[in-house]
């Protein structure tokens, strides 16, 4: 396993549409393990998407405090419910947060590390993290929802980042 440097906006890989994973083989499992280790190495982290470590493939990991890590390959949101305003940050846009709208609850499907199909129903921070990381796979960043970059606020590094 290895900690991989996190790519920072405006690196082009963050704007690419990531490719679907065809087979969850050893190289994908190594990518997953490296992503988990990289995520855990960052204080305040909540999730990480493969493009953030420079790999344009549809893989995300989520590490909400007090909950088991979630690994999703080829994740898709199948349902969004409700709407709420949240402060959101991103490991690829360090030191800032912005206020955007997110779903209250989402249903997501994807495959786990062993290729088994899994479905997750999530609320609040976990739902926010899933939406945020899946958007990374489409080259979308939360700042895209702000009227302008002037709406960003500076934060301390240890605050939650997605």
Instruction: Output 50 or 90, the one with its CB closest to Ni ion.
Output: 90
How many residues touch Ni ion under the rule CB under 5 A: the total is 2
Smallest CA-to-CA distance from 1 within 49, 53, 36 is with: 36
Residue number, nearest CB to Ni ion: 90
Q: Quick check: 76 and 122 in contact, CB under 8 A?
A: no
Report in angstroms how near the CB of residue 8 gets to Ni ion at its nearest: 11
Does 162 engage in binding with Ni ion (CB under 5 A)? yes
Catalytic residue among 88, 131, 133, 135: 133
If binding is defined by CB under 5 A, does position 90 make contact with Ni ion?
yes
Edge-first strand order for the sheet with 84-90 is 84-90, 93-102, 153-154
Q: For residue 133, indicate whether it is catalytic.
A: yes
- Contact status: 48 vs Ni ion (CB under 5 A): no
How far is the CA of 85 from the CAs of 10, 62, 75, 98, 133, in angstroms?
Answer: 25, 21, 24, 10, 17
Measured from the CB atom, is 15 or 114 closer to Ni ion? Answer: 15
What three-state secondary structure class fits 90? strand
How many residues make up the chain in this entry? Answer: 162
**161 DSSP 8-state letter:** B
* 60 touches Ni ion by CB under 5 A: no
Name the minimum Å distance from CB 114 to Ni ion.
26
Q: How far is the CB of 43 from Ni ion (least distance, A)?
A: 15
Pick between residue 14 and residue 28 the one whose CB is nearest to Ni ion. Answer: 14
What is the smallest separation between the CB atom of 50 and Ni ion, expressed in angstroms?
Answer: 12
Contacts of 10 (CB under 8 A, 6+ apart): none
Told to check if 57 binds Ni ion by CB under 5 A, we report no
Q: Which residues sit at the interface with Ni ion, rule CB under 5 A?
A: 90, 162
């Amino acid at each position: 396993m290895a900690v991989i440097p996190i790519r920072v906006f405006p690196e082009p890989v963050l704007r690419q549409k990531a490719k679907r994973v065809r087979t969850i083989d050893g190289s994908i499992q190594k990518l997953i393990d490296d992503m988990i280790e990289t995520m855990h190495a960052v204080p305040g982290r909540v999730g990480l998407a493969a493009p953030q470590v420079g790999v344009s493939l549809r893989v995300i990991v989520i590490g909400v405090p007090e909950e088991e890590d979630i690994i999703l390959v080829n994740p898709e949101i199948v349902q969004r419910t409700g709407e709420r305003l949240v402060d959101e940050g991103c490991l690829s846009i360090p030191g800032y947060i912005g206020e955007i709208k997110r779903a209250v609850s989402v249903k997501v499907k994807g495959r786990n590390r062993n290729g088994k199909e899994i479905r997750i129903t999530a609320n609040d921070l976990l739902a926010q993290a899933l939406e945020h990381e899946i958007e990374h796979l489409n080259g979308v960043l939360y700042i895209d929802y702000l009227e302008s970059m002037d709406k960003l606020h500076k934060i301390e590094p240890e605050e939650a980042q997605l």
